[in-house]
Amino acid sequence: MSTIRPAELDARLESGDEPFIMDIRPRSDFQSNAIEGSHNVPVYQELRQGDEAALYDRLDDLPTDEDVVVVCKQGMVAKRATSLLSDEGYDAATLLGGMSGWTGYQNGSLGYKLRSLLWKLT
């Protein structure tokens, strides 16, 4: 399964090579903190409970000609969405660490730096 690190996503956004960022978190979470330019497709709770139909019902909302980066809270549920999207032919990747990782990257937190080091080692 494909993943993307926060620094890699940031570099793509800065270069103008912007993927379609699909934030699957609940609408209230998305409204309080989101990656600029991302799109809310709130299927987090359903996927967490094993209801894959919720995502399949929203496929028409996604572009077929762009890379899709899936974002959730920590990245775990996004992995399930990324797998489903890949099975459907989308070029999809999970944002490592989810919004927590993105926020840590943006803030330069020690937790993010340690996580980033682990990602490089694996």
Enter the DSSP assignment of 68: E
C-alpha to C-alpha distance for 10 and 6, rounded to whole angstroms: 6
Element (H, E) at 70: strand 68-71
Question: What pLDDT band is residue 110 in, cutting at 50, 70 and 90?
Answer: low
Mean pLDDT of the chain: 91
Identify the pLDDT of residue 107.
Answer: 80
For the stretch 12-37, pLDDT in tens is 999 999 999 999 999 999 999 999 99
Question: What pLDDT band is residue 122 in, cutting at 50, 70 and 90?
Answer: low
For the stretch 72-88, pLDDT in tens is 999 999 999 999 999 99
Given a contact cutoff of 8 angstroms between Cβ atoms, the answer to whether 12 and 18 are in contact is yes
Identify the pLDDT of residue 105.
Answer: 86
The answer on pLDDT for 58 being more than 70 is yes
Identify the pLDDT of residue 38.
Answer: 97
How many angstroms separate the Cα of 45 from the Cα of each of 10, 20, 72, 93, 95? Answer: 27, 21, 10, 19, 18
Given a contact cutoff of 8 angstroms between Cβ atoms, the answer to whether 23 and 75 are in contact is no
In the chain the domains, ranked by start, together with CATH numbers, are 3-121 (3.40.250.10)
Q: Which is nearest to 67 in space by CA: 22, 105, 97, 29? A: 22
